[in-house]
């Protein structure tokens, strides 16, 4: 919460001198004066040091423009990455962003960044390009004719940014310097992890410092303030205070949804539960069903209903309509009573026990299985445990945006190192006799949002706080805000053994549930899906599961990101996907070789998957007349109690 308050206090300081609508008469006069001052003050530019770049204001460039924006001194300055004395300073800077401080804990103990970070010839080229671009921009400013092409960024698409030369220059100056900062970060010569951390931090600051994020510099927000006679600012402050109490920025109007009423409405019943999960069995939607049922293991860091958002966008319903018997896990939102639970507990109680229940209820010899994100990691681990025990409960496995090989974890790698994991082990993992704690779901939600800061953070700051608007009701973002806590021991085991040490891919390197894990023994048919623009599970990391597994494999690459690529129903007729049209069951080891040979297909990948699944699902039979069985009677209707427990 401290990070939220610090960042929002910066915005509030910038607003205080402009909250009175009477200030706009004075501001207009100053803006007109500044426009005239451009011609007088625009000389040959001297390239500033990064620490001196006047983000998001212009105080260090010309006196005339500084006068037009009296509150610039209160706004955050961009970091000087040429003078950073190690990643500790990046962590300190990042901690001032809302919800970001907890994610950056542990970074202060990292080694220093090398002094000679950028090759001299590359730095000289960047400086030359920067001076050329600034000269051109100042020339345009002196003529009060900023090139509209320089403002193509969607944050500045409104005509209000071009209507006044000062605002147009503010936006163009910001975009020029943000681009320069990013190019400098890209040019740093260091190990990949350090370079990625620098890029990430620069990205966060560039996103935070945009003039569109500040009332004093945003003509759209100023217009809303004047037209509403101050009501937009009042409502924006109320939205801000409400979000500060919640600890996260509102992305959707949550009053528009109620789980079990207009979201997660597919008919079913809870037929089994334990401390960690409820097992939901759905009502068949086809006159005949395949004899082997499908068990879905969703990610435990979110609620299961991402796969059952609405009837038209439900993967669950699509599978039911294609003749599958469908069961799904609903993970419990962990509280202190189960804070001691481990990865072994989640694998045994969450996955292995429920596979046995599904087999018992259906009477099938084997079941089909699907794991989504971390659910796929747990599913593959559970099947490897069972294999080591001499059991083979699954006829097939589907992995959706899941990782078994954590060599490349994308941008999430910036958060994980030995110091960070040790800190978490001590704080919540029960290390050295300390009490176990919880990994809060809100930390995951905030971290994932900052992977796409302009889309999932600052656009909501502008709309909710500066313009005083209420977010639209959007089912996917409602789900995204419905986060789930995890037990500390379970989460830190996952961090250390996958993201940090990448041991899951190594035969015999890990022991889970008393068994040495060897994923290479899994020889069942496997359908692997990756999303091409996934920032959480890079598609090549999803593909990296293929060389580890031994059975026949199908890989499909969908368009879009981690969630939108998966939730792509055929009825929408959107996007596209790639696959090998003449696969022989084994995939090339090289993902680029696979992509070169793959064919592009329009629309949803779901029908391709259900066709593949049907081939492994056995004969078609008459569906059961009721839920559960004598041994596993109905406990309550779907979606059950566990999904209703919200993070507090």
In a domain, 444, yes or no: no
Contact 74, 13 (CB under 8 A): yes
d(CA 576, CA 608): 12
Q: Are residues 303 and 203 in the same domain?
A: no
Q: pLDDT by residue (tens digit) across 451-497?
A: 888 888 899 999 999 999 999 888 988 998 888 999 999 999 999 99
- Residues 80-100: what's their mean pLDDT? 42
d(CA 458, CA 450): 9
pLDDT of amino acid 648: 55
Q: Are residues 86 and 206 in the same domain?
A: yes
| pTM of the complete model | 0.82
Contact 301, 294 (CB under 8 A): no
Q: Are residues 90 and 174 in the same domain?
A: yes
Name the pLDDT band for 12 (thresholds 50, 70, 90): very low
Q: Are residues 236 and 274 in the same domain?
A: no
State the sign of the Cα–Cα–Cα–Cα dihedral 411, 412, 414, 417. Answer: negative
Q: Are residues 27 and 176 in the same domain?
A: yes
In which domain, by residue range, is 171 found?
2-246
In a domain, 307, yes or no: yes
**81-90, 101-110, 308-317, 396-405: which has the minimum mean pLDDT?**
101-110
Q: Are residues 169 and 284 in the same domain?
A: no
In a domain, 578, yes or no: yes
Q: Are residues 118 and 208 in the same domain?
A: yes
In a domain, 358, yes or no: yes
User: Residue 28: is its pLDDT beyond 60?
Assistant: no
Q: Are residues 91 and 147 in the same domain?
A: yes
Burial class (CB in 10 A: 0-12, 13-18, 19+), 256: middle
User: Residue 48: is its pLDDT beyond 60?
Assistant: no
Q: Are residues 54 and 107 in the same domain?
A: yes
Q: Are residues 279 and 155 in the same domain?
A: no
| Pairing mode of beta strands 294-297, 326-331 | parallel
- Residues 76-99: what's their mean pLDDT? 42
Contact 570, 604 (CB under 8 A): yes
Please count the structural domains in the chain.
Answer: 2
In a domain, 418, yes or no: no
Q: State the chain's mean pLDDT as an integer.
A: 83
Three-state DSSP at 395 gives strand
User: Residue 53: is its pLDDT beyond 90?
Assistant: no
User: Residue 287: is its pLDDT beyond 70?
Assistant: yes
In a domain, 491, yes or no: no
Catalytic residue ranges: 373
Provide the b/e sequence for 37-50 (b: ≥16 CB within 10 Å). Answer: bbeebbeebeebeb
**83-92, 104-113, 382-391, 540-549: which has the minimum mean pLDDT?**
104-113
Q: Are residues 277 and 160 in the same domain?
A: no
In a domain, 493, yes or no: no
Last residue of a domain, one of 185, 214, 246: 246
Q: Are residues 512 and 407 in the same domain?
A: yes
Count CB-CB contacts under 10 A for residue 223.
16
| CATH number for 357 | 3.40.50.1820
User: Residue 63: is its pLDDT beyond 70?
Assistant: no
Last residue of a domain, one of 246, 277, 295: 246
- Residues 282-298: what's their mean pLDDT? 97
In a domain, 381, yes or no: yes
């Amino acid at each position: 919460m401290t990070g939220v308050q610090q960042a929002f206090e910066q915005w509030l300081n910038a607003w205080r001198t402009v909250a009175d609508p009477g200030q706009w008469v004075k501001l207009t006069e100053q803006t007109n004066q500044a426009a005239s001052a451009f011609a007088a003050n625009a000389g040959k530019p001297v390239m500033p040091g990064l620490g001196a770049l006047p983000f998001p204001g212009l105080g260090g460039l010309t006196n005339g423009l500084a006068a037009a924006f009296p509150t610039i001194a209160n706004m955050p300055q961009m970091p000087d990455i040429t003078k950073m004395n190690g990643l500790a300073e990046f962590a300190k800077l990042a901690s001032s962003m809302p919800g970001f401080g907890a994610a950056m804990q542990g970074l202060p103990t990292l080694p220093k960044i090398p002094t000679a970070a950028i090759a001299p010839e590359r730095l000289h080229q960047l400086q030359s390009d920067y001076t050329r671009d600034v000269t051109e921009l100042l020339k345009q400013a002196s003529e009060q004719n900023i090139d509209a092409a320089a403002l193509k960024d969607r944050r500045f698409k409104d005509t209000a940014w071009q209507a006044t030369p000062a605002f147009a220059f503010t936006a163009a100056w910001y975009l020029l310097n943000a681009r320069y900062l990013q190019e400098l970060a890209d040019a740093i010569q260091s190990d990949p992890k350090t370079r990625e951390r620098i890029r990430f931090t620069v990205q966060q600051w560039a996103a935070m410092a945009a003039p569109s994020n500040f009332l004093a510099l945003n003509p759209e927000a100023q217009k809303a303030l004047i037209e509403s006679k101050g009501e937009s600012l009042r409502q924006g402050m109320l939205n801000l205070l409400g979000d500060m109490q919640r600890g996260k920025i509102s992305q959707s109007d949550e009053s528009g949804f109620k789980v079990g009423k207009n979201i997660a409405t597919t008919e079913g019943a809870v037929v089994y539960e334990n401390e960690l999960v409820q097992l939901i069995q759905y009502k068949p939607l086809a006159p005949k069903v395949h004899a082997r049922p499908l068990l879905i293991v969703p990610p435990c860091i979110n609620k299961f209903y991402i796969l059952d958002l609405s009837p038209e966008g439900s993967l669950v319903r699509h599978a039911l309509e294609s003749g599958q018997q469908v069961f799904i896990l609903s993970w419990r939102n962990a509280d202190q009573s189960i804070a001691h639970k481990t990865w072994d507990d989640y694998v045994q109680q969450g996955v292995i026990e429920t596979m046995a229940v599904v087999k018992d209820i259906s009477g099938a010899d084997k079941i089909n299985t699907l794991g989504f994100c971390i659910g796929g990691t747990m599913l593959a681990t559970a099947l490897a445990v069972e294999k080591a025990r001499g059991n083979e409960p699954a006829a097939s496995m589907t992995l959706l945006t899941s990782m078994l090989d954590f060599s490349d974890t994308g941008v999430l790698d910036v958060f994980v190192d030995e110091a960070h994991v040790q800190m978490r082990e001590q704080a919540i993992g029960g290390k050295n006799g300390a009490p176990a704690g919880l990994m809060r779901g809100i930390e995951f939600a905030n971290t994932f949002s900052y992977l796409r800061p302009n889309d999932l953070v600052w656009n909501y700051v502008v709309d909710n706080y500066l313009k005083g608007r209420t977010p639209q009701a959007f089912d996917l973002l409602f789900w995204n805000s419905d986060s789930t806590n995890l037990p500390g021991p379970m989460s830190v085991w996952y961090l250390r053994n996958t993201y940090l040490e990448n041991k899951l891919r190594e035969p015999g390197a890990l022991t889970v549930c008393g068994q040495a894990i060897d994923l290479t023994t899994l020889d069942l048919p496997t359908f692997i899906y990756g999303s091409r623009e996934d920032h959480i599970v890079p598609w090549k990391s999803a593909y990296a599961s293929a060389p580890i597994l031994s059975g026949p494999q199908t890989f499909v690459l969908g368009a879009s990101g981690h969630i939108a690529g998966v939730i792509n129903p055929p009825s929408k007729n959107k996007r596209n996907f790639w696959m090998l049209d003449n696969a022989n069951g084994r995939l090339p080891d090289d993902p680029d070789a696979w992509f070169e040979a793959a064919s592009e297909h329009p629309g949803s990948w779901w029908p391709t998957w259900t066709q593949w699944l049907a081939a492994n699902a056995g004969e078609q039979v008459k569906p059961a007349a009721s839920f559960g069985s004598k041994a596993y009677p109905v406990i309550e209707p779907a979606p059950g109690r566990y999904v209703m427990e919200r993070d507090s």
